[in-house]
């Protein structure tokens, strides 16, 4: 005994017109899918380019630098992400010295020694964004885009 579904399927006969329509629909569907994939890829490329542009611009907006110039041609630059916050410079300098194993000493609101370099041979000058400043270290704040440079200047004795 043959099932009724089998009889229905076996009776269906395709005409050449329905076969052509079938292949036209398949081809149109393939063209549509390929076009959609191409369009999505182009949009993704544009988004990736945009994100890379943002990534290039962002570091200057959230980064800060502490530079130590030992006065003998040796320099060390430390860079960190401070976000949109302000921090005291002295604790950050202490953290840099601790992590990089640099000896650090303060006296009366100023730097006395960094990495074995310091008084009585000279003094440490502080520059903020390429401007000389003469304020106690405890009051200095660092925020995104700032660069503090500690430069050792030898005494002229």
17-72 per-position pLDDT tens digit = 677 888 888 889 999 999 888 877 777 777 776 666 665 555 557 889 999 898 88
**Quick one: CA dihedral 69, 75, 76, 77, positive or negative?**
positive
Strands 147-154 and 63-69: parallel
Instruction: State the Cα torsion 91-97-100-101 to the nearest 10°.
Output: -130
pTM here is 0.59
The DSSP 8-state label assigned to residue 107 in this structure reads E
145: number of Cβ within 10 Å:
14
């Amino acid at each position: 005994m043959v099932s009724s579904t089998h009889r229905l399927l076996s009776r269906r006969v395709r005409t050449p017109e329905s076969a052509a329509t079938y292949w036209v629909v398949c081809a149109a569907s393939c063209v549509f899918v390929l076009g959609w994939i191409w369009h999505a890829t182009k949009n993704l490329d544009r988004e990736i380019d945009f994100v890379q542009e943002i990534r290039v611009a962002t570091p200057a907006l959230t980064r800060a630098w502490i530079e130590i110039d030992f006065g003998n041609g040796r320099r060390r630059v430390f860079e960190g992400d401070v976000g949109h916050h302000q921090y005291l410079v002295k604790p950050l300098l202490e953290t840099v010295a601790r992590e990089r194993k640099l000896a650090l000493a303060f006296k009366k609101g100023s730097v006395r020694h960094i990495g074995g370099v310091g008084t009585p041979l000279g003094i440490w000058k502080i520059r903020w964004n390429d401007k000389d400043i003469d304020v106690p270290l405890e009051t200095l704040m660092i925020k995104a885009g700032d660069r503090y440079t500690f430069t050792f200047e030898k005494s002229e004795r």
